[in-house]
Structure 1
Amino acid sequence: MESSTSFRILVFSKTAAYRHESIPAGIEALTRYASTSGSFCVDASEDASLINTSDLKKYTVVVLLQTSGDFLDDSQVAALKDWTQNGGGLVGIHCASSGMKSNTWYGGAVGAVFTAHPDPQDGIVKIEDTDHVITKGLPTKWEWFDEWYNFRSNPRGKVHVLMSIDEACYKGGAMGDDHPLAWCQENGGFRSFYTSLGHFSKAWDDDHFLGHVVRGIQWAARRL
Protein backbone atom coordinates (compact mmCIF):
# COMPACT_ATOMS: atom_id res chain seq x y z
CA MET A 1 0.00 0.00 0.00
CA GLU A 2 1.43 3.38 -1.00
CA SER A 3 -0.10 6.78 -0.36
CA SER A 4 0.87 10.35 -1.09
CA THR A 5 2.15 10.69 2.48
CA SER A 6 4.14 7.44 2.65
CA PHE A 7 7.86 7.07 2.06
CA ARG A 8 10.09 4.28 0.83
CA ILE A 9 12.66 2.39 2.87
CA LEU A 10 15.37 -0.06 1.89
CA VAL A 11 15.72 -2.98 4.29
CA PHE A 12 19.29 -4.05 3.60
CA SER A 13 20.49 -7.31 5.14
CA LYS A 14 23.75 -8.29 3.43
CA THR A 15 26.14 -10.20 5.68
CA ALA A 16 29.85 -10.82 5.29
CA ALA A 17 30.36 -12.46 8.70
CA TYR A 18 27.84 -13.89 11.18
CA ARG A 19 24.36 -14.29 9.71
CA HIS A 20 21.31 -14.05 11.94
CA GLU A 21 18.48 -16.51 11.38
CA SER A 22 16.06 -13.72 12.30
CA ILE A 23 16.65 -11.75 9.08
CA PRO A 24 13.62 -13.21 7.23
CA ALA A 25 11.40 -12.55 10.25
CA GLY A 26 12.48 -8.90 10.31
CA ILE A 27 11.83 -8.43 6.61
CA GLU A 28 8.43 -10.11 6.88
CA ALA A 29 7.37 -8.06 9.90
CA LEU A 30 8.36 -4.72 8.39
CA THR A 31 6.76 -5.60 5.05
CA ARG A 32 3.56 -6.69 6.79
CA TYR A 33 3.45 -3.52 8.87
CA ALA A 34 4.02 -1.38 5.77
CA SER A 35 1.25 -3.11 3.82
CA THR A 36 -1.33 -2.64 6.56
CA SER A 37 -0.38 0.82 7.82
CA GLY A 38 0.46 2.55 4.55
CA SER A 39 2.99 4.73 6.41
CA PHE A 40 5.95 3.51 4.37
CA CYS A 41 6.83 1.09 1.58
CA VAL A 42 9.52 -1.58 1.81
CA ASP A 43 12.14 -2.77 -0.64
CA ALA A 44 14.28 -5.59 0.79
CA SER A 45 17.62 -6.56 -0.73
CA GLU A 46 21.12 -7.88 -0.12
CA ASP A 47 22.45 -6.51 -3.40
CA ALA A 48 25.21 -4.08 -2.45
CA SER A 49 25.24 -2.65 -5.97
CA LEU A 50 22.07 -0.77 -4.95
CA ILE A 51 24.14 1.29 -2.53
CA ASN A 52 25.01 3.98 -5.04
CA THR A 53 24.21 7.66 -5.43
CA SER A 54 21.44 7.13 -7.97
CA ASP A 55 19.52 4.23 -6.41
CA LEU A 56 19.66 5.60 -2.88
CA LYS A 57 17.72 8.69 -3.98
CA LYS A 58 14.58 6.52 -4.01
CA TYR A 59 14.76 5.97 -0.26
CA THR A 60 14.04 8.10 2.77
CA VAL A 61 15.50 5.53 5.21
CA VAL A 62 17.92 2.62 4.94
CA VAL A 63 17.41 -0.06 7.57
CA LEU A 64 20.62 -2.02 8.23
CA LEU A 65 19.03 -5.30 9.30
CA GLN A 66 21.66 -7.54 10.93
CA THR A 67 24.40 -6.46 8.52
CA SER A 68 27.80 -7.88 9.48
CA GLY A 69 31.42 -7.88 8.45
CA ASP A 70 32.73 -5.76 5.58
CA PHE A 71 29.48 -5.89 3.64
CA LEU A 72 30.17 -2.74 1.60
CA ASP A 73 33.20 -1.65 -0.40
CA ASP A 74 34.74 1.82 -0.13
CA SER A 75 32.68 3.31 -2.96
CA GLN A 76 29.45 1.98 -1.46
CA VAL A 77 30.27 3.42 1.96
CA ALA A 78 31.03 6.74 0.28
CA ALA A 79 27.65 6.64 -1.51
CA LEU A 80 25.84 5.85 1.74
CA LYS A 81 27.65 8.70 3.49
CA ASP A 82 26.79 11.13 0.69
CA TRP A 83 23.14 10.04 0.82
CA THR A 84 22.93 10.65 4.58
CA GLN A 85 24.52 14.07 4.16
CA ASN A 86 21.66 14.88 1.80
CA GLY A 87 19.05 13.96 4.38
CA GLY A 88 18.73 10.16 4.27
CA GLY A 89 18.00 8.44 7.58
CA LEU A 90 19.73 5.33 8.95
CA VAL A 91 18.31 2.65 11.22
CA GLY A 92 20.56 -0.09 12.59
CA ILE A 93 19.22 -3.32 14.06
CA HIS A 94 21.27 -5.45 16.48
CA CYS A 95 24.19 -6.83 14.44
CA ALA A 96 24.49 -3.66 12.36
CA SER A 97 26.99 -2.47 14.98
CA SER A 98 29.29 -5.36 14.03
CA GLY A 99 29.50 -4.24 10.40
CA MET A 100 32.38 -2.32 8.82
CA LYS A 101 34.36 -2.27 12.06
CA SER A 102 37.36 -0.53 10.56
CA ASN A 103 35.33 2.28 8.98
CA THR A 104 35.22 5.29 11.28
CA TRP A 105 32.32 6.99 9.52
CA TYR A 106 30.12 3.89 9.64
CA GLY A 107 30.85 3.33 13.34
CA GLY A 108 29.90 6.91 14.09
CA ALA A 109 26.75 6.73 11.97
CA VAL A 110 25.52 3.62 13.79
CA GLY A 111 26.80 5.02 17.07
CA ALA A 112 29.03 2.27 18.49
CA VAL A 113 31.04 -0.81 17.50
CA PHE A 114 30.07 -4.24 18.85
CA THR A 115 32.78 -6.27 20.59
CA ALA A 116 31.16 -9.33 22.20
CA HIS A 117 28.14 -10.63 24.09
CA PRO A 118 27.47 -13.23 26.78
CA ASP A 119 25.06 -16.12 26.25
CA PRO A 120 21.48 -14.97 25.61
CA GLN A 121 19.61 -14.48 28.86
CA ASP A 122 16.86 -12.56 30.60
CA GLY A 123 17.45 -8.94 31.48
CA ILE A 124 15.56 -5.78 32.34
CA VAL A 125 15.77 -2.91 29.89
CA LYS A 126 15.55 0.55 31.46
CA ILE A 127 13.81 3.20 29.37
CA GLU A 128 15.89 6.33 29.96
CA ASP A 129 13.81 8.76 27.92
CA THR A 130 10.16 7.91 28.41
CA ASP A 131 9.05 11.05 26.52
CA HIS A 132 10.78 10.28 23.23
CA VAL A 133 8.56 9.10 20.36
CA ILE A 134 10.77 6.04 19.79
CA THR A 135 10.13 4.74 23.32
CA LYS A 136 6.44 5.62 23.38
CA GLY A 137 4.37 2.90 25.02
CA LEU A 138 7.30 0.81 26.26
CA PRO A 139 7.36 -0.46 29.84
CA THR A 140 9.61 1.68 32.05
CA LYS A 141 11.33 -1.56 33.08
CA TRP A 142 11.04 -3.92 30.14
CA GLU A 143 11.72 -7.62 30.77
CA TRP A 144 13.44 -9.04 27.70
CA PHE A 145 15.48 -12.05 26.57
CA ASP A 146 18.33 -11.29 24.17
CA GLU A 147 22.03 -11.10 23.50
CA TRP A 148 23.24 -8.16 25.57
CA TYR A 149 25.82 -6.46 23.37
CA ASN A 150 29.03 -4.94 24.70
CA PHE A 151 30.58 -2.11 22.70
CA ARG A 152 34.10 -0.88 22.00
CA SER A 153 33.31 2.42 23.72
CA ASN A 154 30.34 4.01 25.43
CA PRO A 155 28.47 6.21 22.93
CA ARG A 156 26.82 8.38 25.59
CA GLY A 157 27.69 12.01 25.00
CA LYS A 158 27.76 11.49 21.24
CA VAL A 159 24.23 10.08 20.97
CA HIS A 160 20.94 10.47 22.80
CA VAL A 161 20.56 7.29 24.86
CA LEU A 162 17.03 5.90 24.86
CA MET A 163 17.49 2.60 26.69
CA SER A 164 20.13 1.02 28.90
CA ILE A 165 20.61 -1.98 31.15
CA ASP A 166 21.91 -2.51 34.68
CA GLU A 167 24.61 -5.17 34.35
CA ALA A 168 23.67 -6.46 37.82
CA CYS A 169 20.52 -8.04 36.30
CA TYR A 170 22.45 -10.46 34.06
CA LYS A 171 25.86 -12.10 33.67
CA GLY A 172 28.55 -11.06 31.21
CA GLY A 173 28.28 -7.29 31.01
CA ALA A 174 31.55 -5.51 30.25
CA MET A 175 30.67 -1.83 30.20
CA GLY A 176 30.32 -1.13 33.89
CA ASP A 177 27.82 1.20 35.49
CA ASP A 178 26.64 2.75 32.24
CA HIS A 179 25.52 0.34 29.51
CA PRO A 180 23.43 1.92 26.71
CA LEU A 181 21.34 -0.41 24.52
CA ALA A 182 19.54 1.89 22.08
CA TRP A 183 19.99 5.48 20.98
CA CYS A 184 19.33 8.08 18.34
CA GLN A 185 21.32 11.00 16.98
CA GLU A 186 21.22 13.85 14.53
CA ASN A 187 24.66 13.66 13.01
CA GLY A 188 25.97 15.81 10.18
CA GLY A 189 22.50 16.73 8.96
CA PHE A 190 20.91 13.26 9.11
CA ARG A 191 19.06 11.19 11.65
CA SER A 192 20.26 7.79 12.85
CA PHE A 193 18.61 5.31 15.22
CA TYR A 194 20.14 2.09 16.55
CA THR A 195 18.81 -0.68 18.79
CA SER A 196 20.94 -3.56 20.01
CA LEU A 197 17.84 -5.68 20.68
CA GLY A 198 16.51 -8.20 18.16
CA HIS A 199 18.69 -11.30 18.01
CA PHE A 200 15.80 -13.77 17.87
CA SER A 201 13.08 -14.18 15.24
CA LYS A 202 10.38 -14.08 17.90
CA ALA A 203 11.33 -10.49 18.72
CA TRP A 204 9.48 -9.46 15.57
CA ASP A 205 6.26 -10.98 16.93
CA ASP A 206 6.46 -8.72 19.97
CA ASP A 207 4.41 -5.53 19.67
CA HIS A 208 6.76 -3.56 21.92
CA PHE A 209 9.83 -4.46 19.88
CA LEU A 210 8.20 -3.93 16.49
CA GLY A 211 6.74 -0.62 17.63
CA HIS A 212 10.16 0.46 18.90
CA VAL A 213 11.70 -0.24 15.47
CA VAL A 214 8.84 1.24 13.44
CA ARG A 215 8.88 4.48 15.43
CA GLY A 216 12.66 4.58 14.97
CA ILE A 217 12.16 4.35 11.22
CA GLN A 218 9.53 7.08 11.24
CA TRP A 219 11.75 9.29 13.42
CA ALA A 220 14.72 8.76 11.10
CA ALA A 221 12.45 9.73 8.20
CA ARG A 222 11.47 12.93 10.07
CA ARG A 223 7.84 11.86 10.15
CA LEU A 224 7.84 11.90 13.96
Structure 2
Amino acid sequence: MKHSRVWWLAALGCLIAPIAFAQQFSVAVFSKTAGWHHESINEGVTAIRELGKLHHFEVFWTEDPNRLFKDEELSKHAAVVFLLTTGDALNDEQQATFERYIRQGRGFVGVHSAADTEYQWPWYTKMLGHMFRRHPAIQTAMVKVESRDFPGMERFAPRFLATEEWYEFDASRSPALKYLLSVDESTYQPSEQRRAEAKTVPLHPISWYQPYDGGRAFYTALGHLPATYSDPLFTHHLYGGIYWAATGKGLTKP
Protein backbone atom coordinates (compact mmCIF):
# COMPACT_ATOMS: atom_id res chain seq x y z
CA MET A 1 0.00 0.00 0.00
CA LYS A 2 2.82 2.39 0.90
CA HIS A 3 4.60 1.74 -2.42
CA SER A 4 1.42 2.27 -4.45
CA ARG A 5 0.84 5.61 -2.69
CA VAL A 6 4.38 6.74 -3.53
CA TRP A 7 3.84 5.73 -7.16
CA TRP A 8 0.52 7.62 -7.30
CA LEU A 9 2.09 10.79 -5.89
CA ALA A 10 4.97 10.58 -8.35
CA ALA A 11 2.56 10.15 -11.26
CA LEU A 12 0.48 13.09 -10.05
CA GLY A 13 3.62 15.22 -9.87
CA CYS A 14 4.43 14.44 -13.48
CA LEU A 15 0.98 15.60 -14.52
CA ILE A 16 1.10 18.82 -12.50
CA ALA A 17 4.70 19.88 -13.30
CA PRO A 18 4.17 20.85 -16.96
CA ILE A 19 1.25 23.06 -15.94
CA ALA A 20 3.15 24.69 -13.09
CA PHE A 21 6.06 25.56 -15.36
CA ALA A 22 4.16 26.62 -18.47
CA GLN A 23 5.59 29.68 -20.20
CA GLN A 24 3.72 32.99 -19.93
CA PHE A 25 3.31 33.24 -23.71
CA SER A 26 5.17 32.61 -26.95
CA VAL A 27 6.71 35.23 -29.23
CA ALA A 28 7.82 34.76 -32.83
CA VAL A 29 10.90 36.69 -33.96
CA PHE A 30 11.01 37.37 -37.70
CA SER A 31 14.19 38.81 -39.24
CA LYS A 32 13.99 38.50 -43.01
CA THR A 33 15.95 41.14 -44.92
CA ALA A 34 15.12 41.97 -48.52
CA GLY A 35 17.28 45.09 -48.38
CA TRP A 36 19.99 46.15 -45.95
CA HIS A 37 21.11 43.31 -43.66
CA HIS A 38 22.03 44.51 -40.15
CA GLU A 39 24.99 42.81 -38.54
CA SER A 40 23.20 43.09 -35.19
CA ILE A 41 20.47 40.52 -36.01
CA ASN A 42 22.21 37.67 -34.20
CA GLU A 43 22.76 39.84 -31.12
CA GLY A 44 19.09 40.85 -31.26
CA VAL A 45 17.89 37.26 -31.42
CA THR A 46 20.22 36.31 -28.56
CA ALA A 47 18.97 39.22 -26.46
CA ILE A 48 15.30 38.26 -26.97
CA ARG A 49 16.08 34.65 -26.13
CA GLU A 50 17.75 35.82 -22.92
CA LEU A 51 14.69 37.95 -22.16
CA GLY A 52 12.61 34.81 -22.67
CA LYS A 53 14.67 33.00 -20.05
CA LEU A 54 14.52 35.94 -17.65
CA HIS A 55 10.80 36.60 -18.06
CA HIS A 56 9.60 33.05 -18.74
CA PHE A 57 8.27 33.22 -22.29
CA GLU A 58 9.00 31.12 -25.36
CA VAL A 59 10.87 32.46 -28.39
CA PHE A 60 10.60 31.10 -31.92
CA TRP A 61 12.97 32.64 -34.50
CA THR A 62 12.90 32.40 -38.26
CA GLU A 63 13.97 34.36 -41.33
CA ASP A 64 11.65 32.29 -43.53
CA PRO A 65 8.14 33.77 -43.93
CA ASN A 66 6.88 30.42 -45.25
CA ARG A 67 7.49 28.89 -41.82
CA LEU A 68 5.68 31.57 -39.83
CA PHE A 69 3.00 33.37 -41.79
CA LYS A 70 0.37 30.64 -41.77
CA ASP A 71 -2.77 30.80 -39.62
CA GLU A 72 -1.94 27.63 -37.73
CA GLU A 73 1.64 28.68 -36.95
CA LEU A 74 0.87 32.29 -36.05
CA SER A 75 -1.87 31.16 -33.66
CA LYS A 76 0.83 29.68 -31.41
CA HIS A 77 2.30 33.12 -30.69
CA ALA A 78 0.94 36.08 -28.72
CA ALA A 79 3.09 38.58 -30.65
CA VAL A 80 5.43 38.78 -33.63
CA VAL A 81 8.66 40.78 -33.49
CA PHE A 82 9.89 42.23 -36.78
CA LEU A 83 13.55 42.35 -35.78
CA LEU A 84 15.66 44.46 -38.16
CA THR A 85 13.59 43.42 -41.18
CA THR A 86 13.98 45.33 -44.45
CA GLY A 87 12.28 45.53 -47.82
CA ASP A 88 9.36 43.46 -49.10
CA ALA A 89 9.36 40.66 -46.57
CA LEU A 90 5.93 39.07 -47.23
CA ASN A 91 3.88 38.14 -50.28
CA ASP A 92 0.20 39.07 -50.63
CA GLU A 93 -1.10 35.87 -49.03
CA GLN A 94 1.27 36.19 -46.08
CA GLN A 95 0.27 39.82 -45.61
CA ALA A 96 -3.41 38.84 -45.47
CA THR A 97 -2.59 36.15 -42.93
CA PHE A 98 -0.78 38.63 -40.70
CA GLU A 99 -3.66 41.10 -40.92
CA ARG A 100 -6.05 38.37 -39.72
CA TYR A 101 -3.65 37.60 -36.90
CA ILE A 102 -3.56 41.18 -35.57
CA ARG A 103 -7.36 41.47 -35.87
CA GLN A 104 -7.63 38.51 -33.53
CA GLY A 105 -6.18 40.70 -30.76
CA ARG A 106 -2.51 39.77 -31.16
CA GLY A 107 0.58 41.97 -31.02
CA PHE A 108 3.31 43.43 -33.23
CA VAL A 109 6.75 44.65 -32.13
CA GLY A 110 8.93 46.55 -34.60
CA VAL A 111 12.63 47.06 -33.98
CA HIS A 112 14.72 49.68 -35.82
CA SER A 113 14.52 48.83 -39.55
CA ALA A 114 11.05 47.36 -39.21
CA ALA A 115 10.31 50.95 -40.31
CA ASP A 116 12.31 50.27 -43.49
CA THR A 117 10.03 47.37 -44.42
CA GLU A 118 6.95 46.95 -46.66
CA TYR A 119 6.52 50.53 -47.87
CA GLN A 120 3.88 49.42 -50.41
CA TRP A 121 1.63 47.70 -47.81
CA PRO A 122 -0.64 50.48 -46.48
CA TRP A 123 -2.04 48.40 -43.61
CA TYR A 124 1.49 47.73 -42.35
CA THR A 125 2.70 51.32 -42.70
CA LYS A 126 -0.29 52.60 -40.71
CA MET A 127 0.39 49.97 -38.02
CA LEU A 128 4.07 50.97 -37.90
CA GLY A 129 3.03 54.63 -37.59
CA HIS A 130 6.01 56.35 -39.23
CA MET A 131 8.24 55.04 -42.01
CA PHE A 132 12.00 55.50 -42.31
CA ARG A 133 13.25 58.20 -44.68
CA ARG A 134 16.98 58.70 -43.97
CA HIS A 135 19.60 58.82 -41.24
CA PRO A 136 22.80 60.78 -40.56
CA ALA A 137 26.05 59.18 -39.36
CA ILE A 138 25.97 57.20 -36.11
CA GLN A 139 26.28 59.68 -33.24
CA THR A 140 25.76 60.11 -29.52
CA ALA A 141 22.71 62.19 -28.61
CA MET A 142 20.43 62.98 -25.68
CA VAL A 143 17.17 61.05 -25.56
CA LYS A 144 14.09 62.39 -23.78
CA VAL A 145 11.36 60.34 -22.11
CA GLU A 146 8.01 61.54 -23.48
CA SER A 147 5.86 59.22 -21.36
CA ARG A 148 6.38 56.65 -18.61
CA ASP A 149 2.85 55.28 -18.94
CA PHE A 150 4.09 52.10 -20.55
CA PRO A 151 5.89 48.94 -19.39
CA GLY A 152 9.68 49.04 -19.64
CA MET A 153 9.94 52.82 -19.31
CA GLU A 154 10.43 53.03 -15.55
CA ARG A 155 14.22 52.59 -15.56
CA PHE A 156 15.06 55.41 -17.94
CA ALA A 157 16.29 58.75 -16.60
CA PRO A 158 14.19 61.69 -17.84
CA ARG A 159 17.07 62.43 -20.25
CA PHE A 160 19.85 60.00 -21.08
CA LEU A 161 22.72 59.57 -23.55
CA ALA A 162 22.54 56.98 -26.30
CA THR A 163 24.54 56.25 -29.41
CA GLU A 164 22.49 55.28 -32.42
CA GLU A 165 21.83 55.55 -36.13
CA TRP A 166 19.12 58.17 -35.59
CA TYR A 167 16.34 57.36 -38.00
CA GLU A 168 14.42 60.26 -39.51
CA PHE A 169 10.80 59.47 -40.31
CA ASP A 170 7.98 60.63 -42.53
CA ALA A 171 4.78 62.18 -41.14
CA SER A 172 2.54 60.19 -38.81
CA ARG A 173 0.35 57.67 -40.57
CA SER A 174 -1.95 57.11 -37.59
CA PRO A 175 -3.68 59.58 -35.22
CA ALA A 176 -3.56 57.01 -32.40
CA LEU A 177 0.23 56.98 -31.86
CA LYS A 178 1.41 57.51 -28.29
CA TYR A 179 5.05 58.60 -28.08
CA LEU A 180 7.46 57.17 -25.52
CA LEU A 181 10.93 58.46 -26.49
CA SER A 182 12.27 61.31 -28.63
CA VAL A 183 15.78 62.44 -29.53
CA ASP A 184 16.97 65.98 -28.85
CA GLU A 185 18.25 67.24 -32.19
CA SER A 186 20.20 70.05 -30.54
CA THR A 187 22.58 67.43 -29.09
CA TYR A 188 23.76 65.92 -32.41
CA GLN A 189 23.86 66.66 -36.14
CA PRO A 190 20.69 65.60 -37.98
CA SER A 191 20.57 65.61 -41.75
CA GLU A 192 20.09 68.93 -43.53
CA GLN A 193 16.63 67.81 -44.66
CA ARG A 194 15.59 67.04 -41.10
CA ARG A 195 16.86 70.42 -39.84
CA ALA A 196 14.56 72.09 -42.38
CA GLU A 197 11.62 69.87 -41.39
CA ALA A 198 12.15 70.53 -37.68
CA LYS A 199 10.91 74.10 -38.12
CA THR A 200 7.38 72.78 -38.62
CA VAL A 201 7.62 69.37 -36.87
CA PRO A 202 9.93 69.80 -33.87
CA LEU A 203 9.31 66.42 -32.21
CA HIS A 204 11.64 63.65 -33.38
CA PRO A 205 10.10 60.47 -31.95
CA ILE A 206 12.05 57.23 -31.69
CA SER A 207 9.61 54.97 -29.84
CA TRP A 208 5.82 54.76 -29.74
CA TYR A 209 2.84 52.44 -29.50
CA GLN A 210 -0.83 52.22 -30.44
CA PRO A 211 -3.85 49.92 -30.36
CA TYR A 212 -4.28 48.86 -33.96
CA ASP A 213 -7.04 47.06 -35.89
CA GLY A 214 -8.09 44.97 -32.89
CA GLY A 215 -4.52 44.26 -31.78
CA ARG A 216 -1.48 46.15 -30.47
CA ALA A 217 1.64 47.64 -32.08
CA PHE A 218 4.89 48.85 -30.45
CA TYR A 219 7.96 50.27 -32.18
CA THR A 220 11.44 51.36 -31.13
CA ALA A 221 13.98 52.88 -33.51
CA LEU A 222 16.83 51.91 -31.19
CA GLY A 223 18.79 48.75 -31.96
CA HIS A 224 21.14 49.47 -34.86
CA LEU A 225 24.41 48.63 -33.10
CA PRO A 226 25.15 45.06 -31.98
CA ALA A 227 26.32 46.30 -28.56
CA THR A 228 22.94 47.94 -27.92
CA TYR A 229 21.52 44.47 -27.28
CA SER A 230 23.87 44.14 -24.29
CA ASP A 231 22.48 47.32 -22.71
CA PRO A 232 20.09 46.33 -19.89
CA LEU A 233 18.17 49.60 -20.18
CA PHE A 234 17.48 48.94 -23.85
CA THR A 235 16.58 45.28 -23.38
CA HIS A 236 14.20 46.20 -20.54
CA HIS A 237 12.59 48.76 -22.86
CA LEU A 238 12.32 46.09 -25.55
CA TYR A 239 10.78 43.61 -23.13
CA GLY A 240 8.22 46.22 -22.09
CA GLY A 241 7.11 46.44 -25.71
CA ILE A 242 7.04 42.66 -26.11
CA TYR A 243 5.10 42.21 -22.86
CA TRP A 244 2.46 44.79 -23.77
CA ALA A 245 2.13 43.59 -27.37
CA ALA A 246 1.72 39.99 -26.21
CA THR A 247 -0.64 40.59 -23.28
CA GLY A 248 -2.11 44.09 -23.43
CA LYS A 249 -1.01 44.52 -19.80
CA GLY A 250 1.24 47.02 -18.09
CA LEU A 251 -0.31 50.40 -18.87
CA THR A 252 -0.79 52.58 -15.80
CA LYS A 253 -4.48 53.00 -15.02
CA PRO A 254 -5.72 56.49 -14.06
**Fold similarity call, TM over 0.5:** yes
Q: Where does structure 2 lack aligned partners over 5 or more consecutive residues?
A: 1-17
> What RMSD, in angstroms, separates the aligned Cα atoms of the two structures?
1.7
Paired AA for residue 72 in structure 1: L
| Aligned twin of 2:36 | 18
1:157 to partner: Cα distance: 3.7
Q: Does the C-alpha gap of structure 1 residues 101 and 156 become closer, same or farther in structure 2, counting only changes over 3 Å?
A: closer
- Residues in 1 aligned to 2:235 and 2:77: alpha-carbon distance in whole angstroms: 21
Equivalence for 1:116: 134
Residue type of the alignment partner of 1:99: T
Distance of 1:5 and 1:55 partners within structure 2: 17
Whole-angstrom distance in 2 between the partners of 1:193 and 1:136:
16
Distance 2:86 2:25 in 1: 26
For residue 151 of structure 2, the aligned residue among 133, 151, 164 is 133
- Residue 155 to residue 181, structure 1, CA distance change in 2 (3 Å): farther
Q: C-alpha separation between the residues in 1 aligned to 2:147 and 2:161?
A: 17
Cα distance in 2 between the residues matched to 1:158 and 1:180:
14
8 Å contact 1:61–1:88 — kept in the other structure?
A: yes
Aligned to 1:211: 236
Displacement after TM superposition at 1:168 (Å): 1.4
For residues 160-171 of structure 1, the aligned pairs below 5 Å read 160-171=178-189
The CA deviation string for residues 141-172 of structure 1, in whole angstroms up to 9 with x for no partner, is 02000011011214574300011112111112
Q: What is the identity, as a one-letter code, of the residue corresponding to 2:233?
A: H
Q: Partner of 1:105: helix, strand, or coil?
A: helix
Gaps of 5+ in 1: none
Say if 1:99 and 1:87 are closer, same or farther in 2 by CA, change over 3 A: same
Larger displacement relative to structure 2 (4-13 or 60-69) = 4-13
Larger helix share, 1 or 2: 2
Whole-Å Cα distance in 2 between the matches of residues 180 and 194 of structure 1? 10
**What is the TM-score of this pair, normalised by structure 1?**
0.95
Residue pair 2:179, 2:205 contacting (<8 A) in 1 also: yes
Instruction: Report how many residues are paired.
Output: 223
Contact map agreement 1:120 1:148 (CA 8 A) in 2: yes
State how 1:187-202 maps to structure 2 within 5 Å: 187-202=212-227
1:68 aligns with 86
